[in-house]
Amino acid sequence: MVTLAATNGVSVEPPLCDDGSPGGVSTSSVDDALVEEALDDADLHLGGTKPSSSPATTTTSSAAAAAAAAVAGATSAPPPAGGVLRREVTLHVLETVNSRVENIGSIILLLRKQLSRLKDALERETLSRVASDALVERHSDKIASLRRQRRGLRQKVVEEAARADTLADRISTLQGERDRLVGEVRAAQAAHAASAAAAAEAAASSAVTAASAAEEARAEELVRELESTKAARDGEVATLLREMAAVKSEMAADSTRSLAAATEQVRAVTAQRDSAVAEAAAAAARVTELESDSNRRVLQLADLEREVRTLRDQLGSNNQEMTLLRRQSLDDEVERRRLHNQVQELKGNIRVYCRVRPLLLSGAGVGDAAGGASEGSASGVFRYHSRGRGIDAVKPGDAPTSSATGGLPPVGKWGFTFDRVFDGSATQGDVFAEVSEMVQSALDGYRVCIFAYGQSGSGKTHTMLSSADGGELGVIPRAVAQIFDHTERMSADGWQFELKASFMEVYNEQVRDLLGSAEEDPNVKYDVKFDAATKLCWVTNLTTATVNSREEVDNVISTSLSNRSTASTRSNERSSRSHCVFRLHISGSNGHGGKVSGLLNLIDLAGSERVKVSGAAGARMREAQAINKSLSALGDVIAALANKDKHVPFRNSKLTYFLQDSLGGDSKTLMFVNLSPSSAHFSESLCSLRFAQKVNACEIGRANKNGRVSLG
Ligand SMILES: Nc1ncnc2c1ncn2[C@@H]1O[C@H](COP(=O)(O)OP(=O)(O)OP(=O)(O)O)[C@@H](O)[C@H]1O
């Protein structure tokens, strides 16, 4: 709270505004009262009409009235007495003028003090506004407006100061005038003294009277002049007071407005601050919540990290175990392959399986080459023994002495032993179970050749590919399935395999690409080549397809079969007239230096037939001759191998030349000899059995694995 010191020494507390700031208007009111009081005093001293309760002023007024009465009385008194009175009146007037001048001086002082207070108030206002400015500094527009107002007020103060200066100047002029009047009065006194002396000395009353009258007139003129000056001063003072009141009122209004605006701004700022504080509190709460959440998560993370470490440790030990197991698995695999190969070698590197198909119902697609009788009427020419390894071919005679000959007496019996003999009841699955070992050998890196030999209609295609309706899958699709099963299993141990398939046929001693276009380009030559370095056979221009799935292999097979040459013969309406060779190159690596490269040949040979028996003629006869020639070449090759001849006539046919990499010493060979159970085909069957026996007698040599396995 600001305390203002009034001129009378009493402390005056200015009233407070709404916001508690000091009220500049009230301070001014106090000053106004003081000025009024001073002016009243001046009026009284100047003989104004304003009533006053001050005893001093009453006294002064009474004295003035007495003086006036004395003056009035002096006019009728004798000249010497009237001159004294006039002098007294004149002196009193002069004193009054002095007093008035002094009062005006005190008024000026008061005005100056008031101005000084106004300046102080303005300073305080300025300070208050500076404080407001700090609060509302973000409201620059308003601040600028306040600053403009402050500049206006300052300007007004300057103007008021100039006005005060003007008043001071006028006062100074009045003082000059007063001095001049005092001088005149003194002169008049001197003159009066002189005239009194003259009157005393000369006693010329008329001259004294005239001089007194002139002095009186002069005094009255001075009084009028002073009154006029006073009236003018009064008007000026009133004007000044009005202006000051207007300025004060304007300043008060400005101050009120500014304070109201500042208050409003303070409220707005306070509201903003409160809102910001609320937001900060909410943010702090959120931060606290987030911190607690973060702490919770940190704990969770720590738990998870511990868990991860545990799992990693576990994984590390599992990996070690896995490595050991993998190493062991590879060792086991190596051992398995070694044992498997040992077994295969013990069984022989060339094996012959004999398969007798069942009797076919009439109309099943195979006619009776012997003379049109159905197969059912002359079946049962084979007897099986030696626990699935022996077969006797019994030629039916005229006397019904043996059930094995279907009631006909045997006129001859030939016994054969093979690695396996399947009678007509054996299923495709039974047969493949005995074949899968050979397929496994190919996966283990050996060259494997599996072919089906037999007369036309004996079941070679059935055995190698499928039944006529495709429902019973034979060796080729089952071998493919086994290979993909194996490669998928081995991929778990890091093995990657690449399989490349080709499908070709040898028809009339010509190689044809079954995977190529059905419309053959006669200019494309398919020549069988032998690579001495790899000891592999290959055919120029032959299509080789990389297969990644069973489906792709199925496509290869179905495309090839649709291109395969088929023609109807009397022996087999769906007779295959060509040697059909499906070859699969198997390459595998395990990324640790372990590699394996195997070769699997699956061959469906063309049906052998005796031309005289089959009744082939023309083109069919030439086909049969070509087939028989190549089969004979195959027999010769096998015989040469069996005899360990230095020269093996592989080149005698395209078939043997191509199969030399699978019939040589480094390969494993399995031959199916397919037989028809029909007595009508007995002679053909016997021929096939004899051929198979020759093959079975071959010791082709110890097979070598074309691959190696290591843990890298
Ligand atoms: N084990 C079997 N079980 C049932 N049917 C068979 C069996 N073997 C062959 N057949 C049927 O005998 C018929 C002749 O078989 P397949 O065509 O396989 O003889 P092939 O020896 O291939 O004849 P070709 O040499 O003339 O081609 C077909 O109808 C076939 O389905």
Measure 66 CA to ligand 1 centroid, in angstroms: 174
CA distance 408 to 96: 188
Is the pLDDT assigned to residue 34 strictly greater than 80? no
pLDDT in the model for residue 204: 59
C-alpha 447/C-alpha 585 separation (Å) is 9
What is the reported pLDDT for 8?
Answer: 38
Query: According to the model, what pLDDT value does residue 243 have?
Result: 80
Residue 161: is its pLDDT beyond 70?
Answer: yes
**Residue 189 or residue 583, greater confidence:** 583
CA-607 nearest atom, ligand 1: 25
Asked if residue 168 lies in contact with residue 105, where contact means CB atoms within 8 angstroms, the answer is no
Greatest mean pLDDT among 31-40, 185-194, 397-406? 185-194
Q: Which pLDDT does position 418 carry in this prediction?
A: 93
Closest ligand 1 atom to residue 454 Cα is: 21
Strand 350-356, strand 667-675: pairing: parallel
Q: Is 32 contained in some domain?
A: yes
207 and 104 in a common domain: yes
Radius of gyration of the chain (CA): 73
Substitution site in 354, 355, 357, 573 for ligand 1 pocket (most atoms within 8 Å of beta carbon): 357
Query: Given this model, what pLDDT does residue 657 score?
Result: 92
Q: State residue 429's pLDDT score.
A: 97
**512 alpha carbon – ligand 1 mean position (Å):** 23
Residue 606 CA: nearest ligand 1 atom is 25
Report the range of poorest mean pLDDT among 248-262, 374-388, 506-520, 581-595: 374-388
> How confident is the prediction for the chain on average, in pLDDT?
76
Q: Are residues 185 and 79 in the same domain?
A: yes
CA 530 to centroid of ligand 1, rounded, Å: 33
Q: How many domains does the chain have?
A: 2
Q: Does residue 301 form part of some domain?
A: no
Identify the residue whose C-alpha is closest to ligand 1 atom 14. Answer: 457
Q: Evaluate whether 661 touches 653 at the Cβ level (below 8 Å).
A: no
CB contact at 8 A, 593 and 712: yes
User: Quick one: 375 and 278 in the same domain?
Assistant: no
CA of 385 to the centre of ligand 1 (A): 24
Mean pLDDT of 302-330: 83
Does 667 reside within a domain?
A: yes
Neighbours of 651 (CB within 10 A): 14
Per-residue pLDDT at 84 exceeds 80: no
Percent of the chain with pLDDT over 70: 73
Nearest by Cα to 77 from 89, 91, 60, 63: 89
Distance from the CA of 549 to the center of ligand 1, in angstroms? 28
Which of 209-223, 358-372, 410-424, 439-453 has the least mean pLDDT?
358-372
Query: Any idea what the CATH number is for the domain that residue 376 is in?
Result: 3.40.850.10
DSSP secondary-structure letter at 6? P
Q: Which of 44-58, 299-313, 350-364 is the least confident region?
A: 44-58
Last residue of a domain, one of 287, 309, 334: 287
Whether 198 has a pLDDT exceeding 90, the answer reads no
Same domain, 180 and 73: yes
Ligand 1 centre to CA of 521 (Å) is: 32
Q: What is the DSSP letter of 137?
A: T
Q: Which of 355, 379, 461, 561 to mutate to test the pocket of ligand 1 (most atoms within 8 A of CB)?
A: 461
The whole-number average pLDDT for the span 217-244 is: 81
Per the structure block, which two tokens stand in for 33? 């009262």
pLDDT at residue number 587: 94
Q: How confident is the model at residue 207 (pLDDT cuts 50, 70, 90)?
A: low
Please, which residues have CB within 8 angstroms of residue 689's CB and are 6 or more apart in sequence?
Answer: 354, 391, 393, 414, 416, 673, 675
Q: Ligand 1: distance of its center to the CA of 91 in Å?
A: 172
The gap from C-alpha 85 to its chain's centroid, in whole angstroms, comes to 116
Q: Which range, 271-285, 374-388, 686-700, has the best average confidence (pLDDT)?
A: 271-285
Based on the fold, state whether residues 518 and 620 are members of the same structural domain. Answer: yes
**Cα-to-centroid distance, 626 and ligand 1 (Å):** 21
Which pLDDT band holds residue 614 (cuts at 50, 70, 90)? Answer: low
**CB-based burial, 501-539: b 16+ in 10 Å, e otherwise:** bbbbbbbbeebbbbbbeeeeeeeeebebeeeeeeebbbb
Domain termination site, one of 287, 318, 339 = 287
Most confident of the following: 312-316, 587-591, 669-673: 669-673
CA distances from 138 to 146, 171, 405 (A): 14, 49, 123
State the residue range of the domain holding 78.
25-287
Domain boundary among 237, 254, 287: 287
The reply to whether 413 falls in a domain is yes
How confident is the model at residue 606, as a pLDDT? 87
Q: Cα–Cα distance between 661 and 4 in angstroms, integer?
A: 129
pLDDT at position 566 is 55
Asked if pLDDT for residue 24 goes beyond 80, the answer is no
Give residue-wise pLDDT tens across range 386-434: 888 999 998 876 444 444 444 444 567 899 999 999 999 999 999 999 9
Phi, psi of 254 (to 5 degrees): -60, -45
Q: Whose CA is nearest to atom 8 of ligand 1?
A: 459
Q: How far apart are CA 512 and CA 563, in angstroms?
A: 9
How buried is 686 (Cβ within 10 angstroms: 0-12 exposed, 13-18 middle, 19+ buried)? middle
**pLDDT score of 219:** 75
Give me the pLDDT at residue 73, please: 43
Q: What is the mean pLDDT of residues 521-535?
A: 87
With contact defined as beta carbons under 8 Å apart, do 301 and 175 qualify?
no
Atom number, ligand 1, closest to the C-alpha of residue 364: 29
What's the distance, CA 478 to chain centroid? 49
Measured by CA distance, the residue closest to atom 15 of ligand 1 is 459
Can you tell me which atom of ligand 1 is nearest the CA of 464? 18
**Does the pLDDT of residue 561 top 70, yes or no?**
yes
Q: What is the pLDDT of residue 280?
A: 84
Is the separation of the CB atoms in 421 and 384 below 8 Å? yes
Average pLDDT over residues 490-505: 90
Distance CA 536, CA 585 (A): 11
Shared domain for 282 and 353, answered yes or no, is: no
Q: Which has the minimum average pLDDT: 232-236, 385-389, 460-464, 484-488?
A: 232-236
Nearest CA residue ID for atom 2, ligand 1? 357
Indicate the pLDDT class of residue 494, thresholds 50, 70 and 90.
confident
How far is Cα 540 from Cα 538, in angstroms, rounded to an integer? 7
The more confident residue out of 610 and 583 is 583
Which is more confidently placed, 85 or 480? Answer: 480
128, 236: one domain: yes
- Which pLDDT value is given to residue 48? 39
Lining ligand 1 with CB less than 6 A are 357-358, 360, 364-366, 454, 456-462, 467-468, 572, 574-576, 606-607, 674
Residue 4, domain member (yes or no): no
Q: Report the pLDDT value the prediction gives residue 35, as an integer from 0 to 100.
A: 47
Per-position b or e across 477-487, b if 16+ CB within 10 A of its CB: bbbbbbbbebb
Residue 372 lies in a domain: yes
Q: Is residue 320 part of a domain?
A: no
Ligand 1 centroid–CA 458 distance in Å is 5
415: three-class secondary structure by DSSP: strand
Q: Report the atom number in ligand 1 closest to the C-alpha of 575.
A: 26
- Highest mean pLDDT of the ranges 302-311, 510-519, 552-561, 617-626: 302-311
Judge whether residue 268 has pLDDT over 50: yes
pLDDT at 386: 84
> Is the pLDDT higher at 27 or at 391?
391
Whether residue 247 sits in one domain with residue 391: no
The rounded Å distance from CA 461 to ligand 1 centre is 6
Instruction: Look up residue 52 and give its two tokens.
Output: 């006053």
40 and 139 belong to one structural domain: yes
Model confidence at 667: pLDDT above 70:
yes
In a domain, 203, yes or no: yes
Categorize the per-residue pLDDT at 138 as very low, low, confident or very high, splitting at 50, 70 and 90. Answer: low
- Same domain for 98 and 170: yes
Question: Which is more confident, 366 or 273?
Answer: 273
